[in-house]
């Protein structure tokens, strides 16, 4: 079980190895498709643990453009909100641009809601098949740039990485990211 962190302005960026659905943060980010149905991967885990009401509320807000994000309640999860980041369409394929936009728009929803903490999975790396280390570099750079260029209430951004492989890939990206 690993932990790594870096501070950008007044926000702590933290890598944590474990199950995203276990975190007590203001919002969990769901790696979603643009129709917002919750099948497998991160979305399936969130739905199983948080309840079908999360998917029902999300689907009422969809479909949304790929790269966009919407917030719903978080059902039975420890979080207050679930931010559904559409990192892929119905083809279940993703790319660097979609991951960057989905990350940025998730941060925008957190800012609009005045949240203090948000937790991301490794967007696009499960069902979407995107390389872990590249996803880590893209997501971390997007978070750092957003925090440096946008006033935000966020005090903590957590990357919840399910296994050692994902944690290691994101740790390498964090060590190479711009210092605060």
Q: Span 121-140, mean pLDDT?
A: 94
- Does the domain spanning 3-176 belong to CATH 3.30.465.10? no
Q: How confident is the model over 68-77, as pLDDT tens digits? A: 999 999 999 9
pLDDT at 151: 82
Is the confidence at residue 174, as pLDDT, over 80? yes
d(CA 60, CA 64): 10
- Please report which confidence band the pLDDT of residue 179 belongs to, taking 50, 70 and 90 as the band edges: low
| pLDDT > 90: percent of the chain | 80
Per-residue pLDDT tens for 17-34?
Answer: 999 999 999 999 999 999
pLDDT band at 2 (very low <50, low <70, confident <90, very high): low
State the pLDDT at residue 160: 96
3-state class (DSSP) for residue 40: coil
Relative to beta strand 69-73, strand 81-88 is: antiparallel
Q: Quick one: pLDDT band at residue 115, thresholds 50, 70, 90?
A: very high
Q: Which residues pair with 16 in a beta bridge?
A: 3, 160
Please give the model's pTM, rounded to 2 decimal places.
0.94
Q: What is the pLDDT of residue 180?
A: 46
* pLDDT classification of 47: cutoffs 50, 70, 90: very high
Distance CA 66, CA 113 (A): 21
* Contact between residue 142 and residue 106 where contact means Cβ atoms under 8 Å apart: no
The partner residues of 159 in beta bridges, in order of sequence, read 15, 120
Given pLDDT bands bounded at 50, 70 and 90, which one contains residue 127? confident
H helix runs in 30-152, sequence order: 41-50, 52-60, 96-113, 132-149
Domain spans of the chain, in order of start: 3-176
């Amino acid at each position: 079980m690993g932990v790594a962190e870096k501070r950008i302005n007044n926000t702590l960026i933290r890598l944590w190895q474990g199950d995203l659905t276990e975190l007590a943060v203001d919002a969990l980010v769901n790696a979603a498709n643009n129709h917002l149905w919750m099948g497998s991967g991160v979305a399936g885990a969130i739905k199983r643990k948080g309840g079908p009401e999360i998917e029902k509320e999300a689907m009422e807000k969809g479909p949304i453009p790929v790269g966009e994000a919407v917030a719903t309640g978080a059902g039975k999860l420890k979080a207050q909100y679930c931010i559904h980041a559409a990192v892929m369409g119905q083809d279940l394929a993703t790319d660097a641009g979609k991951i960057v936009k989905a990350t940025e728009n998730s941060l925008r929803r957190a800012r609009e809601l005045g949240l203090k903490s948000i937790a991301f999975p490794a967007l696009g790396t499960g069902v979407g098949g995107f390389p872990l280390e590249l996803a880590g570099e893209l997501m971390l750079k997007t978070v750092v740039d957003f925090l440096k260029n946008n006033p935000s209430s966020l005090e903590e951004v957590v990357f919840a990485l399910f296994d050692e492989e994902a944690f290691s890939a994101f740790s390498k990206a964090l060590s190479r990211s711009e210092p605060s």
